[in-house]
């Protein structure tokens, strides 16, 4: 059930991101979607609970933080859009620079936990991601995003906020680029040579979803639409209806994953040729 809920959440999230509405409108719609999804997950936990500690850890470490991180992200974006000065480049830039400082302070304050999660450690997972220890390590965010004692551990909210802040950094950089192109807070982007994707679009969609599922881009915090857009820009291609293509891949009766095994085969053949 949780997998189905998250698939549905992802699909609706993509529709919001591609709606063409303003940032503020998308944030408000996203908040509603996240709250609805979290309520359904909460009801599931209240009715079913968990088979064992491993299932509980998986839920509070990998499942709940996904919509929770977007709720925090959309809430922060909404607050930023409402509070940013309405006129003047310099006041807007100063405001966004302060937001960057807040983000940096957050990561500095939680550096040990961020390092623990990014190194894929598990030895503290029972303390961080089961409800038995939630009173030992209280984490109280400045905004009460979504808190219910029986639906929280000591660190699931913190982990969600870490992921949300990575997304929020991306949002701040985009806003700075809009307001003042070339601002020093922006990372310099290296221009790349013109590359064209010459394989099938279905193969590219399979590759993109594999990278998205691995969580190896931006520590797993980047949304699917951003990855798709980046690949479109890099390979000068347009992937309309990528979610429909993904649904068709999942609907294959035999060998649902076709492109990735082909990549493995070609790489192994390349290694053999090099050895010879």
Output the average pLDDT for the chain.
Answer: 84
Q: What is the mean pLDDT of residues 96-119?
A: 89
- Report the C-alpha gap between 14 and 4 in whole angstroms: 16
pLDDT of amino acid 188: 40
Q: Rounded CA gap, 155 and 193, in Å? A: 43
pLDDT at 219 (0 to 100): 73
CB distance 65 to 156 below 8 Å = yes
**What pLDDT, on a 0 to 100 scale, did the predictor assign at position 134?**
57
Which residues, at least 6 apart from 225, have a Cβ–Cβ distance to it below 8 Å?
Answer: 14, 17, 18
Q: What is the pLDDT of residue 265?
A: 92
The whole-number pLDDT of residue 257 equals 92
At 115-149, the pLDDT tens digits run: 888 777 889 999 999 887 655 555 444 445 556 66
Q: CA 202 to CA 210: how far, in whole Å? A: 12
Per-residue confidence (pLDDT) for residue 198, from 0 to 100: 75
Condensed to tens digits (0 to 9), the pLDDT of residues 169-202 reads 888 888 888 887 766 655 444 444 557 787 888 9
Instruction: Transcribe 107-121 into DSSP letters.
Output: HHHTHHHHHHHHTT-
pTM, rounded to two decimals: 0.70
CA distance 206 to 226: 15
Please report, rounded to a whole number, the percentage of residues in the chain having pLDDT higher than 70. 87
Residue 96 burial (CB count, 10 A): 22
- Domain range annotation of the chain: 2-187, 190-276
For the segment 49-58, the average pLDDT, to the nearest whole number, is 87
Confidence band, pLDDT 50/70/90 cuts, at residue 80? very high
Report yes or no: 122 and 58 within 8 Å, Cβ to Cβ: no
The 3-state DSSP class for residue 161 equals helix
Q: Enter the tokens of residue 66.
A: 């996904």
Give the largest CA-CA distance in the chain.
66
Q: Counting beta carbons within 10 angstroms of the beta carbon of residue 246, is it exposed (0 to 12), middle (13 to 18) or buried (19 or more)?
A: buried
């Amino acid at each position: 059930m949780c997998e189905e809920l998250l698939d549905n959440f992802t699909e609706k999230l993509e529709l919001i991101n591609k709606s063409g509405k303003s940032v503020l409108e998308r944030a408000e719609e996203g908040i509603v979607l996240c709250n609805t999804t979290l309520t359904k997950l909460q009801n599931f936990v209240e009715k079913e609970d968990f088979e064992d500690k491993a299932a509980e850890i998986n839920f509070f470490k990998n499942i709940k933080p996904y919509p929770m991180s977007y709720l925090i992200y959309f809430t922060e974006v909404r607050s930023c859009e409402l509070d940013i000065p309405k006129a003047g480049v310099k006041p807007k830039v100063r405001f966004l620079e302060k937001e960057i400082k807040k983000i940096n302070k957050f990561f500095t304050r939680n550096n040990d936990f961020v390092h623990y999660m990014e190194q894929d450690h598990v030895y503290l997972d029972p303390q961080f991601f089961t409800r038995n220890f939630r009173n030992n390590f209280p984490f109280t965010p400045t905004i009460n995003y979504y808190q219910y004692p029986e639906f929280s551990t000591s660190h699931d909210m913190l982990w969600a906020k870490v992921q949300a802040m990575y997304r929020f950094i991306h949002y701040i950089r985009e806003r700075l680029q809009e307001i003042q192109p070339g601002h020093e807070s922006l990372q310099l982007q290296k221009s790349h040579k013109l590359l064209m994707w010459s394989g099938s679009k279905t193969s590219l969609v399979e590759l993109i979803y594999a990278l998205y599922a691995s969580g190896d881009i931006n520590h797993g915090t980047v949304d699917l639409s951003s990855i798709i857009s980046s690949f479109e820009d890099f390979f000068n291609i347009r992937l309309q209806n990528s979610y429909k293509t993904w649904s068709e891949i999942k609907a294959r009766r035999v060998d649902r994953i076709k492109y990735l095994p082909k990549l493995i085969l070609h790489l192994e053949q390349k290694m053999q040729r090099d050895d010879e």
